[in-house]
Amino acid sequence: MSDRETQPLNIVCLATYFKGADFIRECKSRGNQVVLVTKEKMLGEDWPRESLDDLIALPNDADLDMFIHLLSLLGRQTKIDRVIALEEFDVITAAQLREHFCLGGMPAATARLFRDKGIMAAKAQSAGLAVPAFVPLLNYNDLRDFMERVPPPWIVKPRSDVSAIGVKKINKVAEVWQAFDTLDSRARLRERAAHHLLAQFVKGDVFHVDSIVSNGRVIFSGANQYGRPPMEVAHDGGAYISHTVARGSEDEATLLRINRKLIKALGLQHGAAHAEFIKSITDGKFYFLEIAARVGGAYIAEVLEAASGINLWREWAKLELSEGPLRKITPARKEYAGIVLSLARQEFPDTSAYSDPEVVYRVKKKHHVGLIVQSPKLERVQALLNDYATRFARDFAATLPALERAE
């Protein structure tokens, strides 16, 4: 531990959605002051209040000026040392606040690389990564040329939303123009066509790599594979599955290598990252999909911890509290873990019938059912997840329409 880390810091965390409880706990356990700024809609969530010196809720539509005003008031009594975004939608806001108050950390220009799917795809392509062909949903001639060169199906996706929110699969030219007009009729300017991409649809298995980065170097990463592509789950329903990639496999080695290359190209100096790639069934290559400067959602951190003993949130917190770069993080174990997660028609589903000894975590969230399993053998993890997914469909499953925008 460095000398600087022994001095208490005043940390402001931003979280538009409920994320990062372990980050907060780790900061507080090391003697620091922690203030959480969230939105009114999230005030009732199960925040670790015992580890917070203050919990402040801004209006749901709060803009940057309101955040600056709030931090100005906080800063009159206590010097702010860190501003940390725990959630995707706060990454740029946190960067703008750091610049306004002359604090260290990721600048706004770099933050935008991790929020704009168009810019990140162009950067990845320039770095030599395979990227599905894409074009901004903007110039008519460019769109016509794209659709002549790239055969359908295509997808229309927002440049700045997360996961599968607002993503649509399109099979015909006429549907592209219809989507263009529909988007342009939206009331909010930032939700119109120019804020979207038209991209090649690549069919294959989707993977994610989650990392901790210090001084521009990946010091820990874990590769996982989704059971079904998240877009398919969002649109067609069913259980979400993710599990550890076979250790020592060619897939794992390739994913970790291109992830390091990607993070270097985008200029992330320190923090957490969640990157997604798809392995094409046509040519067997990995294609870059997107990356975020945060810990992955949907209990990805808990799955990685079950497999490796490494808690991404706590390691990220240690990194933020340290004065200098951290060395490589060595996993406590190299086992396998996975999650099966689904919407549930019951408010609090009873999973007591799922009693296999490999179950190490039970999701506790209204109208959700989820289990994390751990084993030294990948085959056992996969078998349990597939069995549970089938049983979930019978015992619990519910469906909702795919989101057009973040709620």
Q: What is the pLDDT of residue 162?
A: 60
Tell me the CA distances in angstroms from 270 to 40, 104, 106, 189, 215, one per residue in order.
30, 11, 8, 33, 6
Task: For residues 221 and 361, state if they share a domain.
Answer: yes
Q: Is the pLDDT of residue 394 over 60?
A: yes
Are residues 225 and 316 both part of a single domain?
Answer: yes
- Looking at residue 166, what is its pLDDT? 81
Per-residue pLDDT band at 406 (split at 50, 70, 90): low
We report the CATH number of the domain holding residue 54 as 3.40.50.20
Question: Environment class of residue 284 by beta-carbon count within 10 Å: exposed (0-12), middle (13-18) or buried (19+)?
Answer: exposed
* In the chain, % of residues over pLDDT 70: 95
Question: What angle (nearest 5°) sits at the alpha carbon of residue 276, between those of residues 272 and 278?
Answer: 160
Per-residue confidence at 237, pLDDT binned at 50, 70, 90? confident
Tell me, yes or no, whether 239 and 387 share the same domain. Answer: yes
Are 220 and 327 contacting, i.e. CB atoms less than 8 angstroms apart? no
Range of the domain at 156: 133-200
Helix extents (H) in 150-237: 173-184, 230-236
Contact 156, 176 (CB under 8 A): yes
Higher pLDDT pick, 321 / 230: 321
55 within 8 A of 38, measured Cβ to Cβ = yes
Q: Last residue of some domain: 200, 223, 239?
A: 200
Query: Taking residues 171-190, what's their average pLDDT?
Result: 96
pTM: 0.93
Q: What is the pLDDT of residue 71?
A: 98
Share of the chain above pLDDT 90, in %: 89
If asked whether residues 330 and 212 sit together in one domain, one would say yes
C-alpha triplet 132, 138, 143: angle, nearest 5°: 55
Give a yes or no: residue 117 inside a domain.
no
Least trusted range by pLDDT, from 35-39, 319-323, 339-343, 395-399: 395-399
Q: How would you classify the pairing of strands 134-136 and 82-85? A: unpaired
Structure tokens at 121: 């795809």
In a domain, 286, yes or no: yes
Same domain, 169 and 261: no
Domain end position, chosen among 178, 200, 222: 200
Residue 22 lies in a domain: yes
Q: Looking at the structure, do residues 386 and 297 belong to the same domain, yes or no?
A: yes
**Spatial contact of 237 and 397, defined as CB atoms under 8 Å apart:** yes
CB-based burial of residue 63 (10 Å sphere; 0-12 exposed, 13-18 middle, 19+ buried)? exposed
pLDDT category of residue 327 using cuts at 50, 70 and 90: confident
Domain count within the chain: 3
Helix (DSSP H) and strand (DSSP E) numbers for the chain: 12, 16
The Cα 338–Cα 239 span in angstroms is 13
One-character DSSP codes across 29-83: HTT-EEEEEEEGGGTTS---GGG-SEEEEE-TT--HHHHHHHHHHHHHHS---EE
Residue 388 and residue 246 share a domain: yes
Classify residue 3 by its DSSP letter: T
Residue that finishes a domain, picked among 200, 225, 246: 200
Tokens of 63: 């803009």
Please report, for the domain that includes residue 175, its CATH number: 3.30.1490.20
- Return the pLDDT at 405: 55
Q: Same domain, yes or no, for 175 and 250?
A: no
Alpha-helical (H) ranges within 140-266 are 140-149, 173-184, 230-236, 250-266
Same domain, 189 and 208: no
pLDDT value of residue 185: 96
pLDDT of residue 235: 58
Q: Is residue 400's pLDDT more than 60?
A: no
Decide if 310 is inside a domain.
Answer: yes
* Per-residue pLDDT tens over the stretch 100-127: 999 999 999 999 999 999 999 999 999 9
Do residues 296 and 330 both lie within one domain? yes
CATH number (domain holding residue 247): 3.30.470.20
How far does CA 247 lie from the centroid of its chain? 23
Residue 121 within a domain: no
Residues 285 and 363 in one domain: yes
Q: How confident is the model at residue 2 (pLDDT cuts 50, 70, 90)?
A: very low
Within-domain flag for 165: yes
Residues 284 and 388 grouped into a single domain: yes
* 82 occurs within a structural domain: yes
Residue 124 belongs to some domain of the structure = no
